[in-house]
Amino acid sequence: MSFDYAQLVKSGIALTDAALERLLPETATQPHNIHRAMRHSVFAGGKRLRPLLVMESARMIAGDLPDGAADVGAAIEMLHTYSLIHDDLPALDNDDLRRGKPTCHVVYGEAMAILAGDALQTLAYETLAKLPGDAAAKIEIVKEVAVATGTGVGSEGLAPGMIGGQVMDIEGEGQKPTAELVEAIHRSKTGALITVSIVAGGLIGGASVEEVTHLRRFGERAGLAFQIVDDILDVTQSSEELGKTAGKDTASDKATWPAVFGLDASRETAAELLRDGLAELDIFGQRADALKAVARALVERTN
């Protein structure tokens, strides 16, 4: 299948930003300050990779972009942004740069940043609850996203979610990192939200149980590869190139893939995970070309 990847990304970002603009309260809406803080972080120039995964997964299953797919992507972007706002707080990673701009708490204060993150989380679930279409699919999407962002394993025995991964990350600081700990943190803190972006896209597109299984396996591998690359970039790129403070993981003694395996082995593992993940999409034939391209961009990026 022939397509223009640059145009695909441009269109996906435009659809996501339009959805976010529609869903987020205006700055003129009371209380003004929290809505300014929410918009400051949401519109700080993110790549919108998770919404792109949602939309291309949905398009692959449905054949065209189904109603509600852009809103699912926007909701997941809200959750991602809330996690970044809270990660940057002094009590956690204590960072003053995100996406090349001052972090939320630097501009609006810690209290407002905490509340802005909270508000984005609740708005995300409100958005998912209002999705059009099949009620059963909507409930499944809400459940999947809740498990992916939470602390536990869920009824299906899935890996702990984003908050669980954050807890493991904090508790692992200052300790000698092990392969088991690093993989658990990465699959939960970052990988879970990437995986659920792909699964939720499939669900809004009407994916079968078998198709969701392949999408989940693809997402798990792509999500882990993404975070390994993030670890690599943290020690090989500058703050200007990354748009956030480089070297923070090393300075904080965080459990990272290069710290355990070294840079060369980390690069090899990320490439292997990407290959295995892409193979899970082979059952979809050429319909998977765009989604595969987005996955490659996740893992082959330089910032």
Phi-psi region of 63 (alpha: psi -120 to 50; beta: other; left: phi over 0): left
pLDDT digits (tens, 9 = 90+) for 92-143: 888 988 878 899 999 999 999 999 999 999 999 999 999 998 899 999 999 9
Where are the chain's structural domains?
5-300
Distance CA 25, CA 28 (A): 8
pLDDT, residue 251, reads 46
- Cα–Cα distance list, 42 to 74, 76, 150, 191, 247 (Å): 10, 11, 21, 20, 24
The CATH number, out of the four listed (1.10.600.10, 1.10.10.10, 1.10.300.10, 3.40.640.10), of the domain defined by the range 5-300: 1.10.600.10
pTM tops 0.75 = yes
Distance CA 86, CA 25 (A): 20
Distance CA 228, CA 231 (A): 5
Kindly give the confidence (pLDDT) of every residue in the chain, 303 residues in length, as a single tens digit, with 9 standing for 90 and above. Answer: 556 888 999 999 999 999 999 999 999 999 999 999 999 999 998 889 999 999 999 999 999 999 999 999 999 999 999 999 999 999 988 898 887 889 999 999 999 999 999 999 999 999 999 999 889 999 999 999 999 999 875 545 556 799 998 888 888 887 787 888 888 888 888 889 999 999 999 999 999 999 999 999 999 999 999 999 988 988 886 555 545 455 555 545 567 888 899 999 999 999 999 999 999 999 999 999 999 999 998 888 776
Structure tokens at 230: 């993030």
CB neighbour class for 122 (10 Å; exposed up to 12, middle 13-18, buried from 19): exposed
Angle of the 5-23 helix axis to the 49-62 helix axis, nearest 10: 110
pLDDT, residue 169, reads 87
pLDDT, residue 153, reads 59
Q: Are 160 and 188 in contact (CB under 8 A)?
A: yes
Q: Are 8 and 47 in contact (CB under 8 A)?
A: no
